Each structure stands twice: as C-alpha cells, then as structure tokens.
Amino acid sequence: MGPGPGHTVAVFGAYGHTGRFVVAELLERGFVPVLSGRDADKLRALAASRPGLDVRPAPVDDPAALDRALAGAAAVINCAGPFTTTAAPVIEAALRAGIPYIDVAAEIEANTDTLAHFADRARAAKTVVVPAMAFYGGLGDLLVTTAMGDWTAADEAHIAYGLSGWHPTPGTRVAGAAVQARRDGQRVRFRQGRLEYHRDDLPTLDWHFPAPLGTRAVIGEFTMADVVTVPSHLSVPEVRTYMTTEAAGDLAAPDTPAPTAVDGSGRSAQTFLVDAVVRSGGTERRATAWGQDIYAVTAPLAVEAVRRVLDGRTGRTGVAFAGDVFDAPDFLDALAPHITYSTTA
C-alpha cells in the first residue's frame, strides 16, 4: 500500500488552530488521523466534528499515555506548542514506537534543542525527526536551498517575510511568552556561523519585494527559525530574517485578535510573500513564494513531509530540516496550489 491511503498518523495538539488544518489535510490525502493532545475536553469537541476518528488524550509528562497515543501509527505530527515543553517527550515516544516524527515548531531554541539532543539517538534508531516543518523554518529552508541550486556554500542568506498582517493564534502567544521567558528579554541573531544573544534595537529598513508587494518597510534581524534550519546543512555563515512592520506590530500588540476564517477551509484573509535571497561573491540568487494564511499553509508542508518520509524519499535518518531531508524544488512543486513559487538566478 502506498503512503496515504490507510496510513494512520497521530496528530498531537490536533484541536489547536494549526492542528485542525493538519487533520483536514491528512483526511484530504487519504490518511487516517489519530486525534491526540493534552486537553481531553477539546479533543472530544473536535472528535464530534470528525466522527469515526480515534481520540487519545495524552498529558505530555505521561509516557504511557503518549505510547498509547502513538500505538499503530505510521508517523506522528506534533502541532502542540510551546515546543520547548512538548517536543522532547513526543520525540521520545516516537523513538520508542520506532516511527518518524515531524513538528511545526517555530521556536528557535526548541529546534536547536531537538538537533542537539536527538541527532544521534534518532540516527541510532534508524528513524527521522523533521522539526520546524512549517511556514517558519521549513518553508524558508526549502526556498534558500532551492535558490542555492548547485552552490554548496554562500556568503549570506536573507529571508524577508512580506505578511499583510499577523493575527497570532493563542498557541503563537503562549510559545512567544515561553521564548521570552527563556531569553530573559534578549534577542537572538545568527552571525559568523553561530547564534548570538543581544539587546540591540532592531533596525527598520526597506525591502524590495517582487510585485505585487513592492518596496515595504521591514524590521531587520526579526529572527525566525530559518537561522536554525538553513545553517544546519548549508554553509552560510550569515542568515538574516526580516518582517514587514505591519505584521511585527500586530504580533507585538497584546490586543490583536486571533485569525478569523474567510473561506470554507477556515483560512484567514492574510496573504504572504516570502523572499529568499542568497549571495556568493557578487552573485545573487533568489526564490520567492506566495500564498494565503501562514497557519493554514503549514498543514500541506507538514503532511507532504509525512508523505515523503513514509514513501522512503528522505535518504537519511537522524534529525534533519526540510532543505536537508527533501529535494527542495520538487517539494515546493508538490505544494501547489497552496504555495506558488519562482526562482531567479
């Protein structure tokens, strides 16, 4: 049987905003989702709208419950933040079950922790762990890797996020608070091949996005998970990310509401254009992607990853990010119509 039809995939945090999109995408592709997560009541409420699916609540600190949640599953997708809390226990359960693990973590430290703590163990278990398989981290890595083409190294990579706005979900807010507490008010950036913490003010500059966005004011060194995913497998000592000022302002404001659906699939009206530029010497290459709703588009990213892992199209074990474990241009092609992308050399 090929991947998809009949394959069971456990979704931890299935009732969350992103989790619901992931469950819908799995069903759309013929997988059988198992609904799991920490809140039994929210799981039951979700199951009422998805009759016939298994519901398996699991506190994150209960290994036996996590083992029950993953029993019989071909893979697990963790959608439950903050990932500094949930990633390690769910990865441990995936290793015990001998199945691949995918998550949608945008948290920089959660992703560095996963890489540090599980690379050897996942390799030894002959399984693959793919963190940050989401709009932040995964998509940027796929774009940078695609833009690199036949280059094995570059001097710098820049990823600019042209978001029309950013209505954060409750999960984004909780994860953000956890990150801030861990950093003690410091910011993080990737320079000269390593993460560094600092208290500098962030610059505002103009970024020349392709049409239709055009030139927009962006916050420089608005650092996202791409500073972990890209340098994990590409020789690029400077990786910088930028965010449109409107979106950064929305995220910073405590009263920005959560996303509201504007279509039958539950997507919000938010649009995005992600512009990845790599430079080597005097030469520049670029890959750009655009689409609608950063949370909704995380679902096809994560589910396509599961499909390819179960299909044996990964070619490696251990902890690996999107651009490393998958054929990046082919993966981006497979995301149509959710994401449209183009490259310029």
**pLDDT tens digits, one per residue of 133-174:** 999 999 999 999 999 999 989 999 999 999 999 999 998 999
Distance CA 133, CA 308 (A): 12
pLDDT for res 5: 54
Quick one: average pLDDT of 88-92?
98
Residue 258 has pLDDT above 70, yes or no: yes
Quick one: average pLDDT of 66-73?
98
Structure-token pair, residue 289: 């992607």
What secondary structure, in 3-state letters, does the chain show?
Answer: CCCCCCCEEEEECCCCHHHHHHHHHHHHCCCEEEEEECCHHHHHHHHHHCCCCCEEECCCCCHHHHHHHHCCCCEEEECCCCHHHHHHHHHHHHHHHCCCEEECCCCHHHHHHHHHHHHHHHHHCCCEEECCCCHHHHHHHHHHHHHHCCCCECCEEEEEEEECCCCCCHHHHHHHHHHHHHHCCCEEEEECCEEEEECCCCCEEEEECCCCCCEEEEECCCCCCHHHHCCCCCECCEEEEEEEHHHHHHHHCCCCCCCCCCCCCCCCCCEEEEEEEEEECCEEEEEEEEEECHHHHHHHHHHHHHHHHHCCCCCCCEECCHHHHCCHHHHHHHCCCCEEEEEEC
Residue 19 has pLDDT above 50, yes or no: yes
Residue 227 has pLDDT above 60, yes or no: yes
pTM for this entry = 0.96
pLDDT for res 315: 75
- 2 vs 271 pLDDT, higher one: 271
Quick one: average pLDDT of 189-205?
95
pLDDT for res 2: 43
Average pLDDT of the chain, as a whole number: 95
Residue 345 has pLDDT above 70, yes or no: no
Q: What percent of the chain has pLDDT over 70?
A: 98
Find out whether 159 and 144 touch, Cβ atoms under 8 Å: yes
Structure-token pair, residue 237: 């000592």
Residue 3 has pLDDT above 70, yes or no: no
pLDDT for res 1: 36
